[in-house]
């Protein structure tokens, strides 16, 4: 889905989510485990307010498990419950309703003490495009649900989807916008596939991705492409281009005159990164958020 986030759209998205908050008990904020900060909406606390919140780090199958654990500790320190899941296979997805219910346990206990039979916990999934909202909803529902886009007057025709015996979800997730004003964030979103390549130049995205990979996961890159080159200095653009060229030669991306086709190389780097071919990669860690 491609959304152009003009200020009017942001205001509307915010209002639509805030309308839905009136109907629910708990928000489920979905982030990409590889880039929890870059996949986070810049004003999420303002939008979601004080509702109990479960932060779900999705796509954890692609992230570095040790770093994901550190993120869980970090978000718990912010006062939220946090778990990591893989919605594509369903790994740990069944913990979502359990944790959501735990967040409301005191209220539920009070109701039971008063003789009231508590109803299912009502939740709303929110997150930026492509973070995996539909995939998670389908997993939780145990079937494929044709998710409709938001309509005006959202609180009218809303449907509840059963997610196990103790939870119900609103059928339309809340769609939030990412932080685009920061160039680094833009590149991280593009390299993980959260924003489409057309927005930025593919060679620039791949260059940026390779720079990050060389910096943090050089051995994986070297092994994957069977490189003979020494680890480059990531402050030197020429050295990164040399790595791209060697990848091109290894993978047969040559143009006439044996020139390396950098656009083709870029496509390979990004495809393989998104498919997890370099192993489990986390591009952001809680102690090092802006580099
Ligand atoms: P959205 O509703 O938030 O916009 O996201 P959506 O569920 O459409 O998911 C976006 C992409 O992320 C999909 O891939 C989906 O399969 C993938 N995805 C979602 N959750 C996970 C996860 O936990 N792990 C991994 N590895 N991938 C996940 P796609 O390539 O756009 O579509 P498709 O090829 O799967 O159909």
Q: In this predicted complex, what is the ipTM?
A: 0.97
User: How far, in Å, CA of 118 to CA of 120, rounded?
Assistant: 7
Alpha carbon nearest to ligand 1 atom 18, residue: 132
Does residue 152 register a pLDDT over 80?
no
Give the binding-site residues of ligand 1, using a 6 Å CB cut-off.
1, 58-59, 61-62, 86-88, 127, 129-135
For the chain, domains (ranges, CATH) are 7-175 (3.40.50.300), 201-274 (1.10.1580.10)
Q: What is the predicted pLDDT for the residue at 289?
A: 54
Q: What is the predicted pLDDT for the residue at 197?
A: 66
Spatial contact of 118 and 38, defined as CB atoms under 8 Å apart = no
User: How far, in Å, CA of 198 to CA of 215, rounded?
Assistant: 26
Q: What is the predicted pLDDT for the residue at 143?
A: 81
What six digits make up the tokens of 208? 């940026």
Alpha carbon nearest to ligand 1 atom 25, residue: 59
Region 223-245: mean pLDDT is 95
Does residue 150 register a pLDDT over 60?
no
| pLDDT interval class at 181 (50, 70, 90) | confident
Q: What is the predicted pLDDT for the residue at 281?
A: 95
Q: Write out pLDDT tens, residues 202-233.
A: 999 999 999 999 999 999 999 999 999 999 99
Does residue 142 register a pLDDT over 70?
yes
Does residue 127 register a pLDDT over 70?
yes
Can you give the pTM of this predicted structure?
Answer: 0.92
Q: What is the predicted pLDDT for the residue at 1?
A: 47
| pLDDT interval class at 153 (50, 70, 90) | very low
How close is the Cα of 137 to the center of ligand 1, in Å?
Answer: 11
Q: What is the predicted pLDDT for the residue at 155?
A: 46
How close is the Cα of 102 to the center of ligand 1, in Å?
Answer: 27
Q: For 76-127, give the DSSP string.
A: HHTT-EEEE-BTTTTBTTTHHHHHHHHHTHHHHHHHHHTT--PPPEEEEEEE
Q: What is the predicted pLDDT for the residue at 148?
A: 55
Spatial contact of 249 and 236, defined as CB atoms under 8 Å apart = no
Long-range contacts of 148-151 (CB under 8 A, 24+ apart): 148/172, 150/16, 150/175
Between CA 145 and CA 12, with CA 54 as vertex, the angle to 5 degrees is: 65
User: How far, in Å, CA of 149 to CA of 221, rounded?
Assistant: 40
| pLDDT interval class at 163 (50, 70, 90) | very high
């Amino acid at each position: 889905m491609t959304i152009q986030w003009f200020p009017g759209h942001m205001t509307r998205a915010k209002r639509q989510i805030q309308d839905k908050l009136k109907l629910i008990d708990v928000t489920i904020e979905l982030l990409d485990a590889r880039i929890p900060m870059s996949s986070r909406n810049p004003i999420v606390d303002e939008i979601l307010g004080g509702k109990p919140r479960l932060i779900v780090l999705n796509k954890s199958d692609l992230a570095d498990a040790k770093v994901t654990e550190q993120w869980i500790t970090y978000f718990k320190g912010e006062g939220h419950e946090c778990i990591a899941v893989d919605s594509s296979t369903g790994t740990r997805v069944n913990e979502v309703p359990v944790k959501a219910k735990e967040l409301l346990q005191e209220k539920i206990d009070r109701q039971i003490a008063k003789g009231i039979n508590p109803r299912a916990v009502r939740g709303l999934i929110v997150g930026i495009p492509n973070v995996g909202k539909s995939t998670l909803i389908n997993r939780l529902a145990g079937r494929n649900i044709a998710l409709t886009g938001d309509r005006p007057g959202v609180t009218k025709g809303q449907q509840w989807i059963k997610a196990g015996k103790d939870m119900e979800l609103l059928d339309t997730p809340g769609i939030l916008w990412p932080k685009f004003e920061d160039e680094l964030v833009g590149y991280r979103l593009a390299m993980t596939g959260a924003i489409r390549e057309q927005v930025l130049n593919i060679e620039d995205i791949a260059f940026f991705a390779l720079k990050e990979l060389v910096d943090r996961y050089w051995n994986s890159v070297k092994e994957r492409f069977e490189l003979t080159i020494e680890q480059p200095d990531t402050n030197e653009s020429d050295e990164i281009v040399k790595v791209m060229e060697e990848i091109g030669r290894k993978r047969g991306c040559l143009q006439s005159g044996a020139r390396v086709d950098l656009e083709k190389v870029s496509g390979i780097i990004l495809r393989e990164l998104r498919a997890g071919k370099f192993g489990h990669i986390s591009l952001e860690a809680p102690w090092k958020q802006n580099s």
